[in-house]
């Protein structure tokens, strides 16, 4: 895999930031982060700057941590599947053959042939019955 230059990554991020599809979202994000409308933001001064910077930092930390966690989790699962791919494929093949033999009737397990259903009663709102 080729190395990605930091300037290329920064440039791609900047271009996605100023893309026409994303520009209409900024007032909504700004209002969500600061808890203020756009007109309130224009009227406030130094107090707003401190408050908005603090809220923006917490928003970015939370947003980034979720995506970093998703990336690590995906990498972990991918590494696990890559490491054990032969075993997973063999266990899957055995399960397919096992369930195929059950479906054609070559194997008969009574506990697999039982049908279980859940029955729900229509109860008036606000009433609970004991089990």
Q: Following CA atoms 62, 67, 68, 70 in sequence, which dihedral angle do they give, to the nearest 10 degrees?
A: 130
Which of these, 53, 55, 49, 14, lies nearest to 32 by C-alpha position? 55
How many CB atoms neighbour CB 95 within 10 A? 10
The residue-averaged pLDDT of 89-118 equals 90
The confidence band for 104, taking pLDDT boundaries of 50, 70 and 90, is: very high
The pTM of this model reads 0.49
**Tens of pLDDT, residues 9-37:** 889 889 988 888 888 887 777 777 777 77
pLDDT above 80: residue 89: yes
- Using a 10 angstrom Cβ sphere, with 0-12 exposed, 13-18 middle and 19 or more buried, the burial of residue 7 is exposed
């Amino acid at each position: 895999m080729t190395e990605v230059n930091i300037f290329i990554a920064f440039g791609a991020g900047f271009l996605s930031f100023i893309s026409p599809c994303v520009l209409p979202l900024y007032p909504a994000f700004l209002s969500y982060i600061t808890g203020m409308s756009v007109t309130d933001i224009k009227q406030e001064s130094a107090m707003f700057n401190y408050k908005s910077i603090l809220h923006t930092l917490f928003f970015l930390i939370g947003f980034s941590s979720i995506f970093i966690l998703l990336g690590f989790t995906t990498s972990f699962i991918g590494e696990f599947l890559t490491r054990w791919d032969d075993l997973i494929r063999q266990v899957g093949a055995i399960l397919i053959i096992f369930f195929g033999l059950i479906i054609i009737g070559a194997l008969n397990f009574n506990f697999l042939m039982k049908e279980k259903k859940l029955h729900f009663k229509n109860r008036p709102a606000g009433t609970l019955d004991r089990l």
